[in-house]
Amino acid sequence: PVNLSGQSYLRLLDFSTDQIEYLLKLSKNFKDLKRTGTPHRYLEGKNIVLLFQKTSTRTRCAFEVGAMDLGMGVTYLDPGSSQMGKKESIEDTARVLGRFYDGIEFRGFAQSDVEELAAKAGVPVWNGLTDMWHPTQMLADALTVQENFNYDIKGLKFVFFGDLKNNMGRSLMVMCAKLGMNFVGCGPKDCWMDDELIKTCEAIAAENGCTVKCTEDVKEAATDADVIYTDVWVSMGEPDEVWAQRIEQLQPYRVTTQIMDMAKPTAIFLHCLPAFHDTNTTTGEDIAKRFGVTEMEVEDAVFESKQSKVFDEAENRMHTIKAVMYATLQ
Ligand code: CP
Ligand code: NVA
């Protein structure tokens, strides 16, 4: 039996296939409880704190609603409103918050920061995104794939287009290798993840009867795909100057209706969100003015299509984050 009580959740690499599958089952249970309106205040009397050094909609709200549904108290500290990082070190912050709270969520820049927090806090720490990893997103993505493929996801062709080396590309490659899906990363060589991570994932994939690979060939990647995934071309924390180069490099890897047509007719489209698919935002307007492009990583037609499951995926953040909190705090 899987027991994650007292553990932190910092990166998927540290978790076994059994442990991930257990968290996915738990997530499905929590989703059923929510759907049927069944109270599940299993963690009544506990309190958690959410520490954000970057902005968020989904992750923050998933942790807040999840905590409240589980009967917990929750404190949100936004980027800039605590002493951490300015007047107080991460180490001291961890030792203080660990005395007050039963669990700590952290979203920031360096993976070493969330690791230091976990080492010093004495309570479970959950990584709500760093420059390197986005482990809570992985459970929501895996659950969404399961729901669309009858909970039988081994052997599916999972293709990620764009900036493969970002937190999402790296995390999805690990997720696929652990869960038996064939991962294809498709983007310019410049944007591939490091060789060491590819090698690590190849070895994990071999144990689970699947493969991982990277390619620049859009047709090869898209053909017969079951899941087509993309993410923003410029991630939080990257300098504004990278926009011009990324747009030039990544245009051929935009997820278009032509790409969806090469995939299987049953294929689904996923995106962790926020997505840049029109100019309805201030960033969108600004980019359109500066570079003359009105769509980025995904065409609006794909984003709005029936194959797009991005809002189910977003909802699943809440159910899966609840599972992580429950498993580690029970
Ligand atoms: N997908 C995701 O992490 O969204 P937020 O940045 O809104 O939390
Ligand atoms: N790669 C994106 C993911 C956002 C959820 C970023 O880090 O900004």
Query: For residue range 145-187, what is the model confidence (pLDDT) as tens digits?
Result: 999 999 999 999 999 999 999 999 999 999 999 999 999 999 9
Q: How far is the CA of 128 from the centre of ligand 1 (A)?
A: 9
CA angle 203–204–205, rounded 5-degree value: 90
Q: Which residues are catalytic?
A: 107, 134, 137, 231, 272, 317
Cβ-contact 6, 132 below 8 angstroms: no
| Tens-digit pLDDT profile for residues 77-94 | 998 889 998 899 999 999
280 versus 237: which is more confidently predicted? Answer: 237
Of the listed ligands, the closest to the CA of 62 is 1
User: Does the Cβ of 131 fall within 6 Å of ligand 2?
Assistant: no
Q: Could you tell me if 97 and 156 lie in one domain?
A: no
CATH of the domain at 18: 3.40.50.1370
Coil/strand/helix, residue 278: coil
Q: Look at residues 283, 252, 279, 257 and name the one whose alpha carbon lies nearest to residue 269.
A: 257
pLDDT at position 280: 86
Q: Which of 52, 56, 232 to mutate to test the pocket of ligand 1 (most atoms within 8 A of CB)?
A: 56
Q: How far is the CA of 62 from the centre of ligand 1 (A)?
A: 9
Q: Could you tell me if 167 and 47 lie in one domain?
A: no
pLDDT at position 289: 92
The C-alpha atoms of residue 270 and residue 145 are separated, in whole angstroms, by 9
Of the listed ligands, the closest to the CA of 234 is 2
Give the mean pLDDT of 272-277: 95
Q: Could you tell me if 36 and 117 lie in one domain?
A: yes
What does 108-139 look like in DSSP terms, one character per residue? -S-HHHHHHHHHHHSS-EEE---SS--HHHHH
Adjacency order of strands within the sheet including 212-215 = 212-215, 182-186, 157-161, 227-230, 268-271
pLDDT at position 249: 97
pLDDT at position 279: 85
Give the mean pLDDT of 28-39: 98
For strand 73-77 and strand 125-127, is the pairing parallel, antiparallel, or unpaired?
A: unpaired
Q: Could you tell me if 158 and 295 lie in one domain?
A: yes
Q: Could you tell me if 121 and 169 lie in one domain?
A: no
Of the listed ligands, the closest to the CA of 172 is 2
Q: Above 90 in pLDDT, residue 305?
A: yes
* Domains contained in the chain, number: 2
pLDDT at position 86: 87
User: Does the Cβ of 136 fall within 6 Å of ligand 2?
Assistant: no
pLDDT at position 217: 98
Residue 255 lies in a domain: yes
For strand 125-127 and strand 103-107, is the pairing parallel, antiparallel, or unpaired?
A: parallel
Q: How far is the CA of 106 from the centre of ligand 1 (A)?
A: 13
Coil/strand/helix, residue 273: coil
pLDDT at position 329: 98
Residue 196 lies in a domain: yes
Coil/strand/helix, residue 269: strand
Q: Could you tell me if 155 and 280 lie in one domain?
A: yes
pLDDT at position 64: 98
Q: Above 90 in pLDDT, residue 237?
A: yes
User: Does the Cβ of 144 fall within 6 Å of ligand 2?
Assistant: no
pLDDT at position 124: 98
Q: Does ipTM top 0.95?
A: yes
Strand partners, 246: none
Q: How confident is the model at residue 325 (pLDDT cuts 50, 70, 90)?
A: very high
User: Does the Cβ of 235 fall within 6 Å of ligand 2?
Assistant: yes
Q: Could you tell me if 165 and 129 lie in one domain?
A: no
Give the single-character DSSP code of 95. H
Q: Could you tell me if 324 and 275 lie in one domain?
A: no
The C-alpha atoms of residue 58 and residue 111 are separated, in whole angstroms, by 20
Adjacency order of strands within the sheet including 47-52 = 73-77, 47-52, 103-107, 125-127
pLDDT at position 257: 98
Average pLDDT along the chain = 97
Q: Above 90 in pLDDT, residue 40?
A: yes
pLDDT at position 290: 93
User: Which residues form ligand 1's pocket by a CB distance below 6 Å?
Assistant: 56-59, 129, 137, 272-273
pLDDT above 70 as % of the chain: 100
Q: How far is the CA of 2 from the centre of ligand 2 (A)?
A: 30
Q: How far is the CA of 189 from the centre of ligand 1 (A)?
A: 26
| Tens-digit pLDDT profile for residues 100-129 | 999 999 999 999 999 999 999 999 999 999
pLDDT at position 140: 99
Q: How confident is the model at residue 223 (pLDDT cuts 50, 70, 90)?
A: very high
Coil/strand/helix, residue 158: strand
User: Does the Cβ of 132 fall within 6 Å of ligand 2?
Assistant: no
Atom 7 of ligand 1: nearest residue by CA position: 57
CA atoms within 13 A on the CB side of 190: 8
Give the structural domain span for 191. 150-225+227-262+268-306
